[in-house]
Structure 1
Amino acid sequence: MKIDTQEILNKWKLYTLTNDNGMTVSFLNFGGIITDISVPNRHNQLENVVLGYKDYLDYEKNPNFFGAIIGRVAGRIQDASYTIENQTYTLVSNEGGHHLHGGDGGFHQVVWQASPFQTADTVGVKLSHKSLDGEGGYPGTFEVAVTYTLTNNNELILNYSGTSDKTTVLTMTNHSYFNLNGNLADTIHNHHVTMKSDEYVELNSELIPTGKKIDVSNTPFDFRNGRELVDGINSLSEQNSVANHGYDHYFILNQIQQHIISVKEDISGRVMTIKTNQPGLVMYTSNTLEDGLELAEGKSKPYLGVCFETQASPASLHHEGFPSVIIKANELYEKQTVFSFSIEG
């Protein structure tokens, strides 16, 4: 196992973790952006399974949030405002009249302090940041750490932790776009996803949660026994159409101790298993990804990747009955998501 470090553009560092199987994970200290995850296919060929820019300079703006740490709040906050403890806070409106993924100065555009580490069977980097009281419109000084750990079981473990000195709102995630075909050989239409979720959250035409939960039964949103993403991409259902013909919805995971999502791609044989202690996730099938961006393995186009944004729900700020994003002063925020890679057949 090893860690390699490379200077990028004389201002960032690129860390590459390598395990004893040859799997590699590369990421920047800027935004904690995962630029490459290379894992074998059934023919033992290592290929990249995430979307990333060809030119590192393109990460400065990164409007698609490729690979980045998202915070303080992942997802959309309606009307870019919320009220907690009888005080209303106004945030930056960076998507129409709404607030998306922490705003323009969110965690995806922060240079994090990096501390590499290695043990007998793991290698990783701890990323740390102090977000000051009032930054981006959020109350409380929040001291946060996100740790990326690679194991010899081909697991990438993401640990999030932190505390705020005031009651605040927080739910963090990683915004990697996965494509298990490898090296962008095809779109994600044929990816087969299984997750235990009985309900998803209805969206309005601006992709803001309406406050209504919808039973997945007999819809393209029922992944309890597995289905291919093409079902929703080609669906004429109102909710798939609202999301620009695909998925961009919050799925509430069933209340079991450890949530597990499985993603399979038959041609490569790759299987990605996601384990999380978050209460739900946004699954986004890159429906609105523009054509023609210069990515590491080719040009971008819609449906080239799928995001699994494990998180609580910012809809809880405006509606009852959703997983809360409020954390109390000095309460420890501690979440974990694990991406595991294997081969089937």
Structure 2
Amino acid sequence: MTATDGTRFGQTGTDQNGDTIGLTHRTFGTLSDGRMVTEYRMRNAGGLEVRFLDLGGIVTTMLVADRQGRFANVTLDQADMAGYEVNPGHFGALIGRFANRIGGASFVLGGKTYPLAANDGPNTLHGGLKGFDRAIWSVKSAQSGHALSAVLSHVSPDGDEGFPGMLKVEVVYSLNDENEFRIDYRAETTAETVINLTNHAYFNLAGNDQGSVLDQIVSINADLYTPVDNGGIPTGEIAPVDGTPLDLRQAKPIAAGIRSAHPQILKQRGYDHNWVLNQPSPHTMTRAATAYDPISGRIMEVDTTEPGVQFYTGNYLGGGTAGTAGVAYRQADGFCFETQHFPDSPNQPHFPTTVLLPGHSFRSSTVYRFKTDA
């Protein structure tokens, strides 16, 4: 399918203001190797809008209303195509084959050692040098109940970035009129492999041009977390959050913990940890986290079937990148709730397994729900 500016794609209509409801697409830009990138737009009847690229499934925009009905983009974006081609912070991207870190840039599976690219010190981060965020995904429209849906597909060949098995991946982005943006993941492999998928959106509920998120209030539904070493690799311990700044069971401002001198906060320059969610049973859709901006009144709830969530406070945003609003992003200008399995799971046998076998399917779902205090 050839994308052109303003082309309608799938089911569309118009709201009372004449704005298009549904899924549309347009040409976004061209990569340095000549590949064309297309941007897709999903918009519900209430005006909530999600835009994403076929490059890496990158979510570029989430236009969400505040308590006064004023819309702002609550996810950090890049200023242009060149920014997304480099995208060192993985802004808004689908992450795979293995989200987060694998210690020592290798793992053992079936008695065989699989070496990976060391792209985070001695470790592998977010799938290696060319993870799923660098791929051009196939996109088609679909209907998912009463939601607008887009199906993104990608085939990762056997040996891709060192991982075994050909992996067929399908990700469904859905938006309904209850202001729920849902991501459903599915994957199958031709050989025993490991897999961990997530989306790396950065959020600022005040708007992505409003600076620090330190006064925004968060809670995480977890009694336990996985402490890390100086390289961000889990030590293997599953520890209680009690008495630490990682106790976010009661909502509190991000600043309350990020200024702590606790060793775990100092090691990661803020929050960059995996919380073990209080799931009633494996694969059950569970509240993972909630965030609230008192100034705008925006609230975001995150539900997931994953066992963990990585809460990251943009500790390495150093002002070297800017968004479409012309504002440079600095430390703590955004936060991530990356729903996923635990980091370094292939090397931690007591963590929930990330092994996928031929004939089986990997499945995972996450819902981002937006509302206000009005």
TM-score (norm 1): 0.97
* Residue ranges of structure 2 left out of the alignment (5+ in a row): 1-20, 31-35
Q: Whole-Å Cα distance in 2 between the matches of residues 119 and 240 of structure 1?
A: 41
C-alpha contact 1:35 1:50 (8 A) present in aligned 2: yes
Corresponding residue to 1:166 among 170, 182, 191: 191
State the AA in 2 paired with 1:7.
Answer: T
Q: How does 1:65-104 map onto structure 2 within 5 Å?
A: 65-104=90-129
C-alpha contact 2:233 2:343 (8 A) present in aligned 1: no
Query: Could you say what secondary structure the match of 1:117 adopts?
Result: strand
Q: Does 1:7 align with 2:32?
A: no
Q: Percent identity?
A: 35
Query: Could you say what secondary structure the match of 2:319 adopts?
Result: coil
**How far off its partner does 1:315 sit?**
2.4
Q: Whole-Å Cα distance in 2 between the matches of residues 97 and 292 of structure 1?
A: 24
Cα distance change on mapping 1:119 and 1:336 into 2, 3 Å: closer
**How far off its partner does 1:255 sit?**
2.5
C-alpha contact 1:211 1:320 (8 A) present in aligned 2: no
Q: Whole-Å Cα distance in 1 between the matches of residues 321 and 159 of structure 2?
A: 34
Q: Whole-Å Cα distance in 2 between the matches of residues 37 and 80 of structure 1?
A: 34
Corresponding residue to 1:299 among 293, 312, 328: 328
Query: Could you say what secondary structure the match of 2:104 adopts?
Result: helix
C-alpha contact 2:223 2:241 (8 A) present in aligned 1: yes
C-alpha contact 1:198 1:253 (8 A) present in aligned 2: yes
Corresponding residue to 2:293 among 258, 262, 265: 265
Q: Whole-Å Cα distance in 1 between the matches of residues 173 and 104 of structure 2?
A: 33
Deviations 1:175-206, CA, capped at 9 Å, x for gaps? 00000011321311112112221111111111
Aligned to 2:276: 252
C-alpha contact 1:199 1:216 (8 A) present in aligned 2: yes
> Matched residue pairs, number?
344
Q: Whole-Å Cα distance in 1 between the matches of residues 193 and 257 of structure 2?
A: 35
Q: How does 1:40-119 map onto structure 2 within 5 Å?
A: 40-118=65-143
C-alpha contact 2:302 2:367 (8 A) present in aligned 1: yes
State the AA in 2 paired with 1:316.
Answer: S
Q: Whole-Å Cα distance in 2 between the matches of residues 31 and 123 of structure 1?
A: 20
**How far off its partner does 1:54 sit?**
1.1
**How far off its partner does 1:299 sit?**
1.1
State the AA in 2 paired with 1:267.
Answer: I
Corresponding residue to 1:324 among 322, 344, 353: 353
Query: Could you say what secondary structure the match of 1:266 adopts?
Result: coil
Aligned to 2:318: 290
Aligned to 2:363: 334
TM-score (norm 2): 0.90
Query: Could you say what secondary structure the match of 1:211 adopts?
Result: coil
Structure 1 runs (4+) deviating above 6 angstroms are none
Q: How does 1:127-276 map onto structure 2 within 5 Å?
A: 127-244=152-269, 246-256=270-280, 257-260=284-287, 261-276=289-304
**How far off its partner does 1:119 sit?**
6.3
Q: Whole-Å Cα distance in 2 between the matches of residues 135 and 119 of structure 1?
A: 31
Q: Whole-Å Cα distance in 2 between the matches of residues 305 and 127 of structure 1?
A: 26
Q: Whole-Å Cα distance in 1 between the matches of residues 159 and 208 of structure 2?
A: 41
State the AA in 2 paired with 1:39.
Answer: V
State the AA in 1 paired with 2:271.
Answer: Y
Deviations 1:144-199, CA, capped at 9 Å, x for gaps? 10110110011101000010011100010000000001132131111211222111
Deviations 1:283-331, CA, capped at 9 Å, x for gaps? 1000111114221221110001100110012322222321221111221
C-alpha contact 2:198 2:338 (8 A) present in aligned 1: yes
Deviations 1:23-71, CA, capped at 9 Å, x for gaps? 1000000000000000000110010000001112211121100000000
C-alpha contact 2:73 2:208 (8 A) present in aligned 1: yes
C-alpha contact 1:53 1:294 (8 A) present in aligned 2: yes
Corresponding residue to 1:26 among 51, 55, 67: 51
**How far off its partner does 1:218 sit?**
1.4
Q: Whole-Å Cα distance in 2 between the matches of residues 112 and 296 of structure 1?
A: 23
